Amino acid sequence: MPEIQLLRPDHADALLTFERENRAYFAAAVPDRGDAFFARFDEQLSALFAEQDSGECYFHVVVGAEGEVLGRINLYDVADGGADLGYRIAERAAGRGLATWAVREMCGIAARGYGLTVLRAASREDNLASRAVLVRTGFTVVGARELDGHPGLEYLRGLADVTAPAGALGDEPRAR
């Protein structure tokens, strides 16, 4: 069974492999990270840890049985009891419910681990898989906006009804 873990320095190699192997797959639905991301990966990772240490963001990886990174699921712009949710699942793990599981788990982590009461998300209109995940996990459409030159939808989910997550979370986060 996969596990959601708070991003740590020892995830670096597996995370870089995940990003490289799935670059073209992700670029079909979300903006490409660009060559600079890969050329300066260590710097990028250090910046993420600084944001995480400050409590502005919480970065997580979905780790498989062999320690491989199967996905990322993150909370951005954490403030005033809310955060933006972002996620991406490896192409080889897509279509099997992993994103839905991870988003449900993250709702529990956000509520109990970080004390959040609401999550926001956005998806391009043409990203039907992501939109389906958000609806299945209790998000509702609250508006429309452009996402990198494409029509998109904004979603919101309150966390008052969240029950205990079914899976494990390595390095249990604590509210800051």
Residue 51 banded pLDDT, cuts 50, 70, 90: very high
Q: Residue 22 is encoded by which pair of tokens?
A: 């799935």
Q: Is the pLDDT of residue 83 over 80?
A: yes
User: Please, what are the domains in the chain?
Assistant: 3-163 (3.40.630.30)
Q: Is the pLDDT of residue 174 over 60?
A: no
Helix, strand, coil percent values for the chain (each to nearest 5): 40, 30, 30
How confident is the model over 49-72, as a mean pLDDT?
96
* pLDDT score recorded for residue 148: 83
* pLDDT score recorded for residue 167: 45
* pLDDT score recorded for residue 159: 97
DSSP class of 60: E
* pLDDT score recorded for residue 37: 86
How far from the centroid of its chain's Cα atoms is residue 59's Cα? 7
* pLDDT score recorded for residue 163: 67
Q: Could you tell me the sign of the dihedral formed by the alpha carbons of 61, 66, 68, 71, in that order?
A: negative
| Paired strand residues for 118 | 82, 158
* pLDDT score recorded for residue 168: 40
pTM of the model: 0.89
Q: What is the per-residue pLDDT across 110-168, written as a single tens digit (0 to 9) for each?
A: 999 999 999 999 999 999 999 999 999 999 999 999 988 899 999 999 999 986 554 44
Mean pLDDT, rounded, of the chain: 90
Q: Is the pLDDT of residue 173 over 60?
A: no
